[in-house]
Amino acid sequence: MRARTRVTKRWASRACALALGLCGGLAASLGLGAPAAAQDFPTRVVKLIVPFPPAGATDIAARLIAEHLSKTWPHAVVVENRSGASGLIGTEAAARAPADGHTLLMGTLATNVMAHLLQANVPYGRDAFEPAILLTSAANILMANSKVPASNLQELVAFAKANPGKVKYGSSGVGLSGHLGVELFAAAAGVKLVHVPYRGSAPSGQAFAGGEVELTLGLIPQAMSAMKSAPGIKPIAIGAKERAPQFPDTPTFAELGYPNVLVYAINGLMVPKGTPRAIIDKIHRDALAGLKDPAVKERMEQLGLDVIGASPKEFGDLLVDEFARWEPLIRANDIKAE
């Protein structure tokens, strides 16, 4: 995945030079120096909006980076959870905030890509935000319970082909990664699986552990929890370019002949469109320093998150690529959010 490329000093220098060049004309017209605009930032408390409930991986990652920035900047960064409508409520609030860097958004694929593919009336545009830094990614893993007579992907495909329309998989809702990721795999493998959506990850996990459905696709932390609570659950394949350190013996879909089956979640800092480039670069630079902190990195890895630290351009390119990658599957299957 391109976003996994680490930001080098050469990249950072180019980004800084570009930022100063772009912002110089505007700052001059306002009677301000571009360096001063960034050096003085922030001038008050910064709000980091997390469009999901507390205690999830996205929220914890946000609080870790907010704690670091609060120590780095002259003013605190306060996390505000504004959940609801699958993340749209909080994301809309961030989009409507002044473009001065004092309101940050914890952006995700769900809110900044999938929402525009699955819903007709998203209250903010695809271009409503500027990426600042891609913080983390988290792979999904396909799992089978003990009812499935397969311990690897080849055996699972054979079993599904021998039982078309009979093998069920659960997800936490229509249009979410646990749904779309399995559909992506099924299309690539040429198998017919039955989707059983539940209202949230908790009931979906319980249904899988209890044997109501044979398969599920979940993030690494969910997989670790499931395997502790329900013996017999088998990891089948990882939806990432590289194996997960938590499951070193589980191959990726790409290793098994399905290179396009990539299913992961991301978290990154974004700002409202129009935020000065010099401020975006400062946010990127200071947040990147936080990701390099051993304590922060260790805690994120404990959550099953891969620390990335990609540049604003790399983050933006990833969002464009993900939209293009998922659009054909969603349109072809007429998938819409509930």
Place of tokens 């947040």: 287
Give the least confident one: 32-36, 44-48, 241-245: 32-36
The pTM of this model reads 0.82
- Asked if 197 and 59 sit in the same domain, the reply is no
* Structural domain count of the chain: 2
What is the CATH number for 250? Answer: 3.40.190.10
- Asked if 156 and 42 sit in the same domain, the reply is no
- Asked if 120 and 151 sit in the same domain, the reply is no
- Structural domain includes residue 172: yes
Three-state secondary structure call for residue 252: strand
HSE-up (13 A, CA, CB side) for residue 291: 25
- Asked if 120 and 149 sit in the same domain, the reply is no
- Structural domain includes residue 109: yes
What is the CATH number for 11? Answer: 3.40.190.150
Residue pLDDT, tens place only, 250-263: 999 999 999 999 99
- Asked if 99 and 178 sit in the same domain, the reply is no
- Asked if 112 and 174 sit in the same domain, the reply is no
Q: Which residues of 18-48 are buried (b: 16+ CB within 10 A; e: fewer)?
A: ebbeebeeebeeeeebbeebbeebbeeebbb
- Asked if 114 and 8 sit in the same domain, the reply is yes
Residue pLDDT, tens place only, 51-85: 998 888 899 999 999 999 999 999 999 999 999 88
Supply the range of the domain harboring residue 155: 139-256
pLDDT for 37: 66
- Asked if 8 and 124 sit in the same domain, the reply is yes
- Structural domain includes residue 121: yes
- Structural domain includes residue 47: yes
- Asked if 272 and 294 sit in the same domain, the reply is yes
- Asked if 143 and 83 sit in the same domain, the reply is no
Residue ending a domain, among 225, 256, 287, is: 256
Residue ending a domain, among 205, 238, 256, is: 256
Residue pLDDT, tens place only, 178-224: 999 999 999 999 999 999 998 877 888 889 988 999 999 998 888 88
Q: Where are the beta strands (DSSP E) in the chain?
A: 46-50, 77-81, 103-107, 129-144, 168-171, 194-197, 215-219, 234-238, 264-272, 306-310
Residue ending a domain, among 205, 224, 256, is: 256
Residue pLDDT, tens place only, 312-325: 999 999 999 999 99
- Asked if 132 and 154 sit in the same domain, the reply is no
- Structural domain includes residue 337: no
Is the Cα torsion angle 34, 38, 43, 48 positive or negative in sign?
positive
- Asked if 296 and 197 sit in the same domain, the reply is no
HSE-up (13 A, CA, CB side) for residue 55: 0
- Structural domain includes residue 338: no
- Structural domain includes residue 116: yes
Q: How far apart are the first and last CA of the chain?
A: 30
Residue 161 vs residue 6, higher pLDDT: 161
- Structural domain includes residue 46: yes
